[in-house]
A and B are shown apart, each in its own frame.
Chain A
């Protein structure tokens, strides 16, 4: 090992940002709260129902049940006084009846480790000071920290990042070279690699703001919205089937198209949220606002016939509320359906006060009967018809002609209008009933066990709604994006950040509660959140500021020890390196081979997949039952348009960690498995793309072989091969050639009835090999 090796314990603290402050003073939020949450709070926390033991809460200091309370002359925690702190005495007790937490057999809670005991001991000795939970107090402006490497960058993002590095004894990496940079930022912003021309242009742009111009160009591309939408669609569990029982077709694609368009048009995030939560409640809502309100229709929904409608209704509303919690608030609201939240101050009453905003849906809780025109179109009222511009224009024409005609002409025009309307897509929307349904607390969460009626309200531990009476979803939507809301902006910027560094500043981007993970850079998160709100919730501006930072532009090459000590790059001392998402992998294969069809929007597309997959999971009466793959150019559309059957999503996607879209997912895992290797090796369309690209390059006239090889390599990795690499490529090509010369039958199997089949096969294997390189599936 060399000088980079560090003792294990230091490595741990490096990566987690949990090192105790230099003065030895413990910080409640960072050092103590996570520990209490893990080991004590389930029984001594916010759950006021059956959960709380001994009328004692350790999550708050004051009050009758707070940690400082004295009961029968005994104080639970006496600041600075271990001997008279009952909590401490119980922690060190020997008697199994006294010891806390209770032995594992009784409590299922793992015992305190000696390190944890030491933290609690020192914290009580130091005065047992509590702090408000960081995520529930509004972000505040922090002074830019002092750094020693002050000439690295004046950018606030970089200053915060650098301060953390320096605190850990690290220093930033060099800026990545231009080729790496354009490949990285193109993949990150558009989900597509740069073309050779784009690389070339960037390399030769000598202006000082070349990179800035590149970023702006990418932000202006339509592919930007398609790429950004992908993450959002995971978050809101967008899919093309209802996800339960028969798993019938359900068409929500106008919503998907709206998301793509919104990112491209840079709709501000506050509007983006408001449209989705309450688009239907604007005065004279626009088509877009209505389509966006379809957010409330994205949940799994069972088809009519077997379940109990009242139960289905309850499940749908709970799912809607959970989605709002995960997507906009970063809270696990659904933990408070059956009882008060065990860790966060969300009471069951809070949950059903939120439920009250969403239980007034004017529509059926189960999907409609088979055979109706709506059913075949995957629609269920309420919905609006949305057409292409051509369809809309024709419809307007028809309306005019109809009003001006009569008799047979009129009937035939009306028939045409009907046919046109049938061919238009519908967008399912949210709609309120006239008379609000009351919302009951459901005892133990059971749909048939209503308790007290609760008014529409936001959770009591967060800032109150500004209005007292007649509140509706629009008030909730406005509250969500009110700058005083401590969560919304933080949760949003954290998710965007995660796209560009592989992991969020708060790693648990779906959970900002007490059980979530402490942010690696709390001040930076606050800074980004405040800037975001200040900018008018301008997403492109936020994204731009992130990718323009020096922190983002660092090279990702690093000594192995750096990867060992900080595998996820939480300390940001290099550019992040992580595997591309399934959609990007597929789109890239199509892009480099020149096959990608850039057509946007419309119905979801069934990209070819191995035969028989649906047959194994569908029912004879499922609609659709049989998988009919798309044809011709449709096969080459971008993956964001992939038809998503919840019962069995496309395996090319799920094998690379795409979720089923059953539940809201704020971040994907990134695994590395043999099944993934098999996809890259044998997926039919990927291999066909390799053949296509190989033939194209092979047939170039007047080009020397080594130039062809270099061209291929550069097309796929955005950089030319080194001399050694080029030699390897040429030698591999020669070996493939020799193999196919010895085995012309195999060459003919790959290229039937084709002249020079052996040569084509050899080039194909070269391209195919490059598609299987680790670098090809990684963003570096």
Chain B
């Protein structure tokens, strides 16, 4: 542990409250919390360098989209239809239990690719809208990871190791950078409530993917709900009006102040401030999720699904509204990407869900000047195999998990647009140039937010824990402007 640091932080907070908190009535408490944060009254570890991004939007494609059918164009594979994958390519690599002992036959993508943007970047016909914003995107074709199964893969990407119990990226950002706004959580998670293209391979999620692990739980992500209260327990019970709530909090604050005088513990002051913040969230969250002030032209950017609560498109629009209101980290999960068999029919639905919405998000951020300091990233936990699972015809095939290479992208906040980074071999099986491990990917995100992944540490279980774990990671400087 680092008792000095921890103690100091605690001390500062308490001293701050001690000298400024006394004698405040409920009305004056409105800005207390932000003052607390501003006074260094919490664990703020960063920033370590000049931040390019104030916030990040992570579009997480749970289940692992096929890079071969979307981003990584391999025209020569058509000629190798159904050929066994050469051992020189597979190199005895570990495969899943589903593939073990089976033939590995090449399944070329059935989709047409075309060039987009100033640099003529190849993209699949399933991503026309992404094509329209490709000049803002850096496409990374050489992303790779250690994990070969979903749960460890997602846990590794989101928390830095395959072993559950560590802090998630958003929690690290909250811990490292402190609050950016007064009325909303630092870290919000938006999960799609439905998917197009079948639900047979929908992924399970775990709250640990946005959990705080060993960090204090105030840093954990707050999962917004698609139905009912967007934030759990936000609405007053039936019969409790805002007026009644106000009266109740005034009374409670009065009593708490009196108790503070008697017992002396400044933590009581924190309770008062947090109740006040909860009261403000009861206003700010419905205001955030109310889309009635969005003009048709903006809604159109995100596509027709934006009208459905719980859609990925709606969540993208909410993400923009959160970015405007300075939520530090916004993570979306869309989880129907695990296409072991009958990939085409499922993939098309998934792309329908996300393609226009992602592009719309980038356009919308850009037209508001927000893309300059908002980093948007897109990716799943790994990629998919060149070899087929299930039926193999020219039009029907499936793909297994593939950790050795997959495609992700980043946009905004100092990332070069209109470029690709990294290359894979002819089979889209191994990285041949400029590999980017998910640790490097995460280190780069931290870097854009002004944090050094080696310095953003928290002592737990005898180790200075890091988002990038114990193995080395590097910032992918080549893609930064």
Please give the residue numbers on chain A whose beta carbons come within 8 Å of chain B beta carbons, in ascending order: 8, 11-12, 15-16, 38, 104, 108, 243-247, 300, 302, 305-309, 332, 334-335, 342-344, 448, 507-508, 510-511, 513-517, 556-560, 562-564, 567-568, 577, 579, 610-613, 615-620, 622, 646-649, 651, 654-655, 657, 660, 662-663, 669, 671-679, 681-684, 687, 724-725, 728, 732, 735-736, 739-740, 743, 746-751, 761, 765, 768-769, 772-775, 777, 780
Contact = CB atoms under 8 A, between A and B. Distances in A.
B1 A515 contact: yes
B233 to A, nearest CB: 4
Given A616-B226, A740-B244, A774-B272, 14 more contacts: A8-B11, A104-B454, A343-B462, A563-B14, A567-B14, A616-B191, A662-B164, A662-B165, A674-B277, A675-B278, A678-B232, A682-B235, A750-B239, A774-B259
Contact of A657 (B11, B97, B217): B217
Q: Which of B1, B8, B462 has the most CB of A within 10 A?
A: B462
6 contacts: A8-B11, A516-B462, A563-B265, A616-B193, A654-B217, A749-B239
Contacts of A11: 11
Contacts of B15: 564
B267 interface: yes
Given A515-B462, A577-B265, A674 B223 contact: no
A510 B163 CA distance: 17
B251 A732 contact: yes
Nearest to A308: B97
B14 A672 contact: no
A694 B231 CA distance: 28
B200 interface: yes
Contacts of A775: 256, 259
A774 B268 contact: yes
B244 A306 contact: no
A774 B18 contact: no
B267 A672 contact: yes
Given A307-B97, A564-B15, A761-B239, A769 B207 contact: no
Given A306-B150, A564-B266, A672-B271, A772 B252 contact: yes
A557 B264 contact: yes
Contacts of A616: 191, 193, 205, 223, 225-226
B28 interface: no
Contacts of A669: 216-217
Please classify how large the interface on chain B is, using the bins under 10, 10 to 19, 20 to 34, 35 or more. Answer: 35 or more
Contacts of A746: 239-241, 244
Contact of B255 (A678, A728, A735): A728
A548 B277 CA distance: 40
B218 interface: yes
B263 A617 contact: no
Which applies to chain A's interface (DSSP): helix, strand, loop or mixed?
A: loop
Given A12-B4, A610-B229, A654-B207, A307 B149 contact: yes
Nearest to A748: B239
A673 B205 contact: no
A648 B206 CA distance: 6
Contact of A558 (B191, B240, B264): B264
B274 A672 contact: yes
B98 A306 contact: yes
Contact of B204 (A517, A568, A622, A749): A622
Nearest to B205: A617
B94 A308 contact: yes
Given A676-B274, A728-B251, A307 B11 contact: no
Contacts of A648: 206-207
A619 B263 contact: no
Contacts of B204: 245-247, 617-619, 622, 647
Interface string B186-207: 0000010100000110111111
B160 interface: no
Q: 5 closest A-B pairs (Cβ-Cβ)? A: A750-B239, A515-B462, A663-B165, A677-B278, A662-B164
Given A335-B463, A560-B264, A780-B263, A682 B234 contact: yes
A765 B240 contact: yes
Contacts of B281: 674, 678
Contacts of B295: none
B342 interface: no
A663 B205 contact: no
A617 B207 contact: yes
B96 interface: yes
B228 interface: yes
A564 B149 contact: no
B304 interface: no
Q: Which of B231, B252, B258 has the most CB of A within 10 A?
A: B252
Given A657-B217, A728-B254, A739 B164 contact: no
